[in-house]
Amino acid sequence: MAQWRIDQPQSLDLTGVRRLDVRVVAGSVDVVGRPDAADPGGSGAGGGAAHLEVSRVEGPLIVTLEGDTLTIAHERLSWGGLLDWVSTNRKASADVSISVPASCPVELGVVSAHAVVSSIAAAVKVKSVSGSVTLDGVRSDISAQTVSGDLEARGLSGSLHFTTVSGDLTVVDGTSGRVRAETVSGQVTLDLDVPADSSIDVSSVSGDLTVRLPGTAGLTVTAKTMSGGLDSAFEGLTTERKPGRISMQGQVGSGDGQLRAKTVSGDVTLLRRAGGAPA
Amino acid sequence: MSPVFGHGRLRLYLLKLLDESPRHGYDVIRALEDRFLGLYAPSAGTVYPRLSRLEAEGLVTSADEEGRKVYRITEAGRAELAARQDELADIETDITGSVRDLASEIRSDVRGSVDDLRAELKSAARDVRRESRHQARTQRREANAPGRSDVERLAERLHDELREVLRRTKPSDAEVAALKKVMENAMDEVRRVLGGQDRR
């Protein structure tokens, strides 16, 4: 095991990194995946090159390379401790940029730090309290939890599971067939190109749920709200109104996939994109 | 990307890479790509002549290993590297600056796409909502008073046609008086049908 304590701007070059685990309180975290072709030695010895740059740090960061896992964390910040940190008043902030091979799974925990994860082809797990999370070109499964942090994702192609209290979720140019999002007051906006047999499941208490799909989509739709509105640009859905409950059901295209949208007081809007692919 | 390697900086960076470990030429190119996230791929034609020059200056040596030329840094090379530590630190800052710049570019780019999408979908949602509210209203009206919308449509048509005709042809005073009479009669008839109630 190798360990470094970083309390001033510094960079590190490492090899043999196959997993990345970052926990930063405030500031920013950038994780950029390198095309695997640029990983000398690939999965063999000498591969797994990682470059870490800490350009600003307040409160020391502990960098540990144990086995093939690179951990970068503010001292005393554990996965379970993200929320505890909010109530304490310790100063801990850093700007951290890391490049790793695209095949490296990434786990990220931040309190208020903003996070960018780009070009990763392995599982990405993010927990954030209030920091916003930006994902670009993540080609594998994503699981994200925030309290108030927004999640913005572009060009994702794996599955996405997002849970939040008040953060907004926006997916641009998604080609994922598996999306699950649960929010209390956050808004969910999805622009998806759904493959066959997709499963889209979104729910909120008061947040609006908006999903845009290609005209060629094949989905069985179930949408429910208690006091919000239900609208669809797709024909063939029937709306049923009962006191305290409106529901909309039916088939779009082949109907082989599933789209479920459920909200208490939010609006559900199903939009149709001209053409087949995302604009 | 080019300013990072201006003024002999690539030469210095090659020394640094060879200080980390002996490498063959292809490995050096890969390592450079690696540091630049695959965004900067120096060609063999850029790297090999510089390696040869470093060798001529005695800063590196080369040996054939398994058919490939492997370069190693010499003591003179290490001394050169040590003497130019500050410059090297600058290069490294610039390189990482490029990782950070890339990430911040990605962030603002995604943010822009997200804002565009949300605005676009918001207006599309408004259109869909307006359309379905309109439909619902028509349906509700129809349910409350079947046939009512037909009557309204006829009245609208009459109004439209009348206006069109009056605009196109210049009716004489007598004609205008006759039309007035027709309209008044029609309105009287409507009132009679509705049980003499004046609903104005």
For residue B168, the distance in angstroms to the closest alpha carbon of chain A comes to 41
DSSP A126: E
The residues near A239 (Cβ < 8 Å, ≥ 6 apart) are A230, A246, A247, A248
Q: Tens digit of pLDDT for each residue in A60-105?
A: 899 999 999 999 998 766 666 666 666 565 678 999 999 998 999 9
Question: What pLDDT was estimated at residue A90?
Answer: 67
Q: How far is CA B154 from the centre of its chain?
A: 48
In this predicted structure, the answer to whether residue A41 has a pLDDT above a threshold of 90 is no
CA dist A186 and A133 (Å) reads: 14
Instruction: Give the ipTM.
Output: 0.84
For residue A71, the distance in angstroms to the closest alpha carbon of chain B comes to 19
User: B99 to chain A: which residues are within 8 Å by CB?
Assistant: 30, 32, 51, 53, 97-99
Record: contact B38-A37, CB cut-off 8 A: yes
| Residue A51 β-bridge partners | A13, A99
Question: What pLDDT was estimated at residue B2?
Answer: 38
Is residue A72 within 8 Å of A3, Cβ to Cβ?
no
Question: What pLDDT was estimated at residue A123?
Answer: 96
Q: What is the pTM of this model?
A: 0.71
Is residue A191 within 8 Å of A173, Cβ to Cβ?
yes
Question: What pLDDT was estimated at residue A195?
Answer: 86
Question: What pLDDT was estimated at residue A277?
Answer: 45
What percentage of chain A reaches a pLDDT higher than 90? Answer: 67
Is residue A113 within 8 Å of A129, Cβ to Cβ?
no
Query: Where is pLDDT greater, at B91 or B78?
Result: B78
Question: What pLDDT was estimated at residue A276?
Answer: 44
Question: What pLDDT was estimated at residue B157?
Answer: 85
Domains of chain A by residue range: 1-119, 150-279
Q: Which phi-psi region, left, alpha or beta, contains residue A245 (left: φ > 0; alpha: ψ -120 to 50)? A: beta
CA dist B69 and B45 (Å) reads: 16
For residue B103, the chain A residue with the least C-alpha distance is A30
Which pLDDT band holds residue B99 (cuts at 50, 70, 90)?
confident
**Considering only CA atoms, which of A17, A102, A11, A58 is closest in space to residue A2?**
A17
Question: What pLDDT was estimated at residue A39?
Answer: 47
Where helices occur in chain A by DSSP H, the ranges are 82-87
Which pLDDT band holds residue A49 (cuts at 50, 70, 90)?
confident
**Considering only CA atoms, which of A182, A183, A192, A128 is closest in space to residue A157?**
A192
CA dist B10 and B16 (Å) reads: 10
B164 lies within 8 A of chain A by CB: no
Instruction: Identify how many contiguous H helices and E strands chain A contains and give both numbers.
Output: 1, 26
Structure tokens at A178: 């598996």
For residue A133, the chain B residue with the least C-alpha distance is B107
B137 lies within 8 A of chain A by CB: no
A53 lies within 8 A of chain B by CB: yes
Q: Which amino acid is at B73?
A: I
| Residue A245 β-bridge partners | A242
Q: Tens digit of pLDDT for each residue in B104-161?
A: 888 888 899 999 999 999 999 999 888 888 887 877 777 777 777 778 788 888 888 8
A193 lies within 8 A of chain B by CB: no
Q: Which amino acid is at B175?
A: E
Query: Where is pLDDT greater, at B162 or A127?
Result: A127
CA dist B172 and A243 (Å) reads: 59
User: A210 to chain B: which residues are within 8 Å by CB?
Assistant: 121-122, 125
CA dist B96 and B106 (Å) reads: 15
At A30 the three-state DSSP class reads strand
In this predicted structure, the answer to whether residue B13 has a pLDDT above a threshold of 80 is yes
B102 lies within 8 A of chain A by CB: yes
Minimal Cβ distance to A154: which of B113, B125, B129 = B113
For residue B94, the distance in angstroms to the closest alpha carbon of chain A comes to 11
User: A172 to chain B: which residues are within 8 Å by CB?
Assistant: 110, 113-114, 117
Torsion of CA A138, A63, A58, B104, to 10 degrees: -20
For residue B23, the chain A residue with the least C-alpha distance is A40
For residue B107, the distance in angstroms to the closest alpha carbon of chain A comes to 6
A35 lies within 8 A of chain B by CB: yes
User: B118 to chain A: which residues are within 8 Å by CB?
Assistant: 170, 189
For residue B127, the chain A residue with the least C-alpha distance is A233
* Average of per-residue pLDDT values in chain A: 89
The secondary element (H helix, E strand) that includes residue A177 is none
Domains of chain B by residue range: 2-105, 145-193
Helix axes B9-20, B75-83, angle to 10 degrees: 120
User: B117 to chain A: which residues are within 8 Å by CB?
Assistant: 170, 172, 189, 191
CA dist B121 and A255 (Å) reads: 23
Question: What pLDDT was estimated at residue B39?
Answer: 57
In this predicted structure, the answer to whether residue B24 has a pLDDT above a threshold of 50 is yes
The secondary element (H helix, E strand) that includes residue A274 is none
Measure CA of the first residue to CA of the last residue in chain A; give whole Å: 48
Question: What pLDDT was estimated at residue A202?
Answer: 97
Record: contact A173-B113, CB cut-off 8 A: yes
Which pLDDT band holds residue B1 (cuts at 50, 70, 90)?
very low
Instruction: Determine the average pLDDT of the residues in A180-195.
Output: 94
Question: What pLDDT was estimated at residue B86?
Answer: 87
* Average of per-residue pLDDT values in chain B: 83
Which pLDDT band holds residue A236 (cuts at 50, 70, 90)?
confident
Q: Which phi and psi (to 5°) does residue A25 adopt? A: -80, -70
Q: Tens digit of pLDDT for each residue in A3-39?
A: 999 999 988 888 899 999 999 999 999 999 987 654 4
The residues near B135 (Cβ < 8 Å, ≥ 6 apart) are none
**Considering only CA atoms, which of A108, A114, A115 is closest in space to residue A143?**
A108
Record: contact A55-B100, CB cut-off 8 A: yes
Q: Does domain B2-105 have CATH number 3.40.50.720?
A: no
Instruction: Determine the average pLDDT of the residues in A243-248.
Output: 92
Record: contact B129-A269, CB cut-off 8 A: yes
Q: Tens digit of pLDDT for each residue in A193-214?
A: 988 889 999 999 999 999 999 9
